[in-house]
Amino acid sequence: MTGRGVSAVTASTAHREWALRPPDERYATIDALYEAACARRDRTEARTVDTGDFRTTALADDDLTFETSGRAATLTHWSFGQLATIAGAPPNYLRSLPASIAADALNYGLRHQSRTQHQLWIDRDEPWTVHAITSPRYARVHHAELARRVLDLMAAHPAWHLPLGYKDGEYGAEPVPSGAYLGDRDVFLLVVDGNRALDDPTDRTDAGLFRGFILRNSDVGAAALTLDLFVFRAVCLNHLVWGFQRVAGFRRRHVGASIQEAWSTSLNEVQASLDADTAADRTVILRAITQELGPTRDAVLNAVAQRLDLSQKQAAEAYRLAEQHESNPRSIWGYVQGLTRLSQRTPWQDGRFALDRAASRLLTSVH
C-alpha cells in the first residue's frame, strides 16, 4: 500500500489498486492470499510496551535500529512513521536526515513525551521487525480471518470470483485473475458475480447489471475495515468499473472489541444479500427509472443543484452524457448513469469521488 489510506469506494477504487500494487502484493486466487495472510499472522505477535522504554540507535550503514525491552529490531517504513508521530517529529523530514541525527531527534522527542503504553506488532522470532506501533486500544482484525470468510462465501456462491485484469498492472499484458492484494499495511479484495442477476431496461445492449463487493482492511493502523456492496455493468481489464453504483457499505475503525462482532455481522449480512431474491433490487431500479427529477432539462438541473453538491458545469455535462446514452436523462436512473460516465472521464481522484458520491445519494433517495 502506498499510504493512500481508505476513502469511499468509487468506480476507480479498484483501478488504483490494480495500477499501483507491486507484483509481490498480487495474488491470483484468494486461497493463495489466505495462505500468505495465515503465515503473516503466525509469525507476528502483539506486545504492550511502555513508551519510556523506546530508543533508537544509528547503525554504521546509516540505518536505524529500534530498541525496547532489551531487544533490537528494524522498523518498516510505516512503523517508522508511527514512531516519529509518537515522538512529535515529522516522518518525511527525519527520513531525509543522516541516521545519527534522526536517532537523536527521535530519542529527544520520546524522552519529552508523557510515559504511556503502546502496542507493538512485532515478529515472534529473530530477526525482529516492528510492523506497527499502535495504542493499547487498537483492535486488530487479521487479514486471514477476513480472507477465510470470503472463501466461505465463495464456496456457497461459486459464481463469485476475481475479475480478470492485465497482469502486474501493465496495459496490454496477459489477462489474469486480479483484485486480490496483500501488502505490509493492508489487504484489498475485489470480488464480482459472473452471473447476470439484474435487468436494466434502459441498457440498449441488454447486457444487464452485476453485483460485486470490495473488502479492505489494515492490521497495522493504516486504515479502517470497510466492506462495500455495489452493482455495475462491466469491469475493464484495468479494473475501472462501468456503471458503478454503491448499494451498501460498512466501515469500522480498529478501536474496541466491538469491531470483531461488527465485521462478522457485516459479512453475515453479505451472505444474506447473496442468498436473497433479487426482486428488491429490481424494484429499486425500476423506481429509479420511472421517477423523474424534473419534466425538462432545466428543471432537472435545478433539482440537482438543490440536492447535490455539484457545479453547474458538472450538472450540465452529466445531463449531456445521459442524453447521449440513456433513454430518459430526466429520470433518476438516467441521470445517475450520466454522473457515472462523467466520473470515468474526470482525471482527479477527489473529483471522481464527489461525482460517485452524488450518484449514490441520488440512487439511495429512490422511494
pLDDT tens per residue across span 144-175: 999 999 999 889 888 899 999 999 999 999 99
Same domain? For 52 and 76 the reply is yes
Residue 340 covered by a domain: yes
Split at pLDDT 50, 70, 90, the class of 70 is confident
- Nearest Cα to 177, choosing from 190, 158, 195? 190
Any domain includes 299: yes
Residue that the C-alpha cell 433490487 belongs to: 281
> Residue 180's pLDDT is what?
98
Cell 438543490 maps to which residue? 306
Mean pLDDT, rounded, for 127-148: 92
Alpha carbon distance 320, 338 (integer Å): 7
Beta strands in the chain (DSSP E): 26-27, 44-50, 55-58, 64-68, 71-75, 117-123, 129-134, 160-161, 164-166, 175-177, 180-182, 187-193, 210-217, 225-232, 234-235, 241-242, 245-252
Give the single-character DSSP code of 293.
S
Which among 258, 234, 256, 259 has a CA at the least distance from the CA of 245?
234
Q: How far is it, in rounded angstroms, from Cα 359 to Cα 365?
A: 10
Cell 515522538 -> residue: 87
Percent of the chain predicted with pLDDT > 90: 49
Q: What stretches of 240-343 adopt beta strand conformation (E)?
A: 241-242, 245-252
Does residue 136 or residue 297 have the better pLDDT? Answer: 297
What is the reported pLDDT for 265? 73
| Cell numbers 445517475: residue | 336
Specify the higher pLDDT residue, 359 or 175.
175
* Judgement on whether residues 272 and 338 belong to the same structural domain of the protein: no
Examine the domain organization and report whether 176 and 307 are in the same domain. no
166 within some domain: yes
Supply the DSSP symbol for 319. H
Residue 109: left (phi > 0), alpha (psi -120 to 50), or beta? alpha
Distance between CA 149 and CA 306 in Å, rounded? 42
Q: Is residue 5 domain-resident?
A: no
Residues 91 and 220 in one domain: no
Nine cell digits for residue 197: 442477476
How far apart, in Å, do the first and last CA atoms of the chain sit? Answer: 39
- Cell for 105? 531527534
pLDDT averaged over the chain?
Answer: 86
Whole-prediction pTM:
0.75
Over residues 190-205, the mean pLDDT reads: 68
Judgement on whether residues 72 and 191 belong to the same structural domain of the protein: no
Backbone angles phi, psi at 350, to 5 degrees: -65, -30
Query: How far is C-alpha 27 from the geometric centre of its chain's CA atoms?
Result: 16
Q: What angle do CA 273, 274, 276 make, to 5 degrees?
A: 65
Q: Can you tell me the mean pLDDT for 185-198?
A: 83
* Maximum average pLDDT range among 3-7, 14-18, 264-268, 279-283: 14-18
Is 190 in the same domain as 82? no
In a domain, 89, yes or no: yes
Same domain, 171 and 195: yes
pLDDT recorded at residue 120: 94
Q: Identify whether residues 84 and 163 lie together within a single domain.
A: no
pLDDT score, position 230: 85
Quick check: is 344 in a domain?
yes
Give the lowest-confidence range in 36-50, 183-197, 204-218, 294-308: 204-218
Q: Are 191 and 150 in contact (CB under 8 A)?
A: yes
Rounded Cα distance, 363 and 367, in Å: 9
Beta bridge partners of 67: 55, 72
**Range from 184-193, 197-206, 264-273 carrying the lowest mean pLDDT:** 197-206
Number of Cβ within a 10 Å radius of residue 340: 28
* 35/161 same-domain check: yes
Does position 6 have pLDDT exceeding 90, yes or no? no
* Total number of domains constituting the chain: 3
Boundary-marking domain end, from 74, 89, 124: 124
Same-domain check for residues 171 and 52: no
Reference 336, options 265, 263, 230, 258; nearest CA is 230
The C-alpha cell 452471473 sits at: 195
Antiparallel, parallel or unpaired: β 225-232 and 234-235: unpaired
CA diameter of the chain: 74
User: For residue 356, how far is the Cα from the chain centroid?
Assistant: 15
Share of the chain above pLDDT 70, in %: 87
| 157 and 268 share one domain | yes
Shared-domain flag, residues 160 and 267: yes
pLDDT-derived band at 185, boundaries 50, 70, 90: very high
Mean pLDDT for the stretch of residues 242-259:
75
Q: Residue 308 has what pLDDT?
A: 86
Domain boundary at 90, 124, 158, which? 124
The segment with the largest mean pLDDT, out of 90-99, 108-117, 186-195, is: 90-99
Q: Quote the pLDDT of residue 4.
A: 43
What is the structure's pLDDT at 274?
64
Residues 123-142, mean pLDDT to the nearest whole number: 92
User: 241, 247 in Cβ contact below 8 A?
Assistant: no
* Host domain of residue 77: 44-124
Domain-embedded: residue 97: yes
Of 96, 124, 152, the domain-final residue: 124
In a domain, 243, yes or no: yes
